[in-house]
């Protein structure tokens, strides 16, 4: 039996075309992708694996991505896993709330492949203490 040594990403996105595109980006970054379309399917996936990265949309059917982020941070098995929020909502309040509920970074849709790869790379590299927060990644992008 061959063991899959690739790092795992859990992607939570309710729109199939976007889920497919982002999944492709993650695979190109060397990650095996487990995809979910809502809070409950994501929780089911997270009960069976501990990923190296979680990418989640804020606007999901029924429960929000913010609620999922809170759920993940309450799970001691997943407390160290970096969370990248992907959302078309990008008010300062949304970004602050994402950080408050445990997100490590917040990327506004639409985004470029280059920008997405930059965030993924920053979140996967280094120990937990050096992982960028929402604010630090946003500040690094200012001209």
First-to-final CA distance of the chain: 50
Structural domain tally of the chain? 1
In-domain check, residue 116: yes
Residues 50-96: tens digit of each pLDDT:
999 999 999 888 888 999 999 999 999 998 999 999 999 888 999 99
Question: The pTM is what?
Answer: 0.86
83 bridge partner residues: 54
In-domain check, residue 131: yes
The 8-class DSSP code of residue 133 comes to: P
Evaluate the CA torsion angle 39, 45, 48, 53 in order and state its sign.
Answer: negative
In-domain check, residue 2: no
> Residue 135: what pLDDT?
56
Q: In this structure, what CATH number is given to the domain that contains residue 33?
A: 3.40.50.2300
In-domain check, residue 1: no
Residues 14-61: tens digit of each pLDDT:
999 999 999 999 999 999 999 999 999 999 999 999 999 999 999 888
HSE-up of 134 (CA within 13 Å, CB side)? 22
Contacts of 76-79 spanning 24+ positions with Cβ under 8 A: 77/50, 78/46, 78/50, 78/54
Does residue 5 register a pLDDT over 60?
A: no
Does residue 138 register a pLDDT over 80?
A: no
Q: How confident is the model at residue 143 (pLDDT cuts 50, 70, 90)?
A: low
Tell me which H or E stretch contains 132: none
Given a contact cutoff of 8 angstroms between Cβ atoms, the answer to whether 38 and 12 are in contact is yes
Q: How confident is the model at residue 128 (pLDDT cuts 50, 70, 90)?
A: low
Residues spanned by the domain of 131: 7-140
Does residue 134 register a pLDDT over 90?
A: no
More confident: 10 or 3: 10
């Amino acid at each position: 039996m061959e063991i899959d040594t690739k790092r795992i990403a859990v992607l939570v996105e309710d729109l199939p075309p976007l889920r497919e595109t982002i999944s492709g980006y993650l695979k190109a970054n060397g990650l095996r992708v487990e995809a979910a379309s809502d809070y409950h399917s994501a929780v089911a996936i997270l009960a069976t694996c501990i990923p190296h990265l979680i990418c989640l949309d804020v606007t999901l059917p029924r429960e929000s991505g913010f609620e999922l982020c809170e759920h993940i941070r309450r799970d001691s098995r997943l407390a160290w896993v970096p969370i990248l929020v992907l959302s078309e909502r990008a008010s300062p309040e949304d970004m602050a709330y994402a950080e408050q509920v445990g997100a490590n970074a917040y990327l506004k849709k639409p985004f470029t492949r280059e920008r997405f790869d930059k965030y993924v790379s920053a979140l996967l590299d280094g120990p937990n203490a050096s992982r960028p927060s929402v604010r630090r990644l946003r500040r690094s992008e200012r001209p």
